Amino acid sequence: MLKAVKRSLARTFDYEGRSGRGEYLVYFFVAMVCLPLAPLTLAVAIPGFAATVRRLHDMDRSGRWALLPLSPVLFLIAAMLAGVAFHPLLTATRIAMVFVPLGFVIWLSRQGTPGPNRYGDPVPNTGMVREPAVPAP
C-alpha cells in the first residue's frame, strides 16, 4: 500500500503513461484521509490530479476528463459571484458536488484497457486489485 503512494508521489508531475487501479485507489483513499489537514491539501491534490490523468489514460481516455468533477464547483462559484443566494439549480449543484466525484471514482475503478493503447503499455498488476479471470477463447 505504501508502495502505491510512493509511486504516485514520485510521479507528481508525470501526466504521461498509465496508472493501474490499485495505485490510483490506494492513493485516492490516502488522499481522503489527508484532505482534512488543510496545509496538505495542495500537496495531495497535485499528485492526485496526475494519478487521475494516468488512470484515465489506462482506460484509453483523454486526461481532460479529469476536469469533470470540478464542473459543479465552478457552477457554484459562478452563481455566488452573480449574487444568486438561493435557486433550485444551486441545490442540485450542491448535490452534484457529492455525486459527480463519487461516480467519477467508481468509473475510474473499472478495469483499464487490456493490452497497449495510445498512451502506452499496460501497467503490471501489483496485486492490490484482483483481476477477474478471463476465460480462454
The whole-chain average pLDDT of the chain stands at: 77
Give the number of other Cβ atoms within 10 Å of residue 50's Cβ: 22
pLDDT band at residue 1 using 50, 70 and 90 as cut-offs? low
CA 131 to chain centre: 20
* 4-41 pLDDT tens trace: 667 767 777 777 888 888 778 877 777 777 767 766 66
| pTM of the predicted protein model | 0.71
The b/e string for 88-109 (b: 16+ C-beta within 10 A; e otherwise) is: eeeeebeebbeebeeebbeebe
pLDDT-based confidence at residue 129 (cuts at 50, 70, 90): low
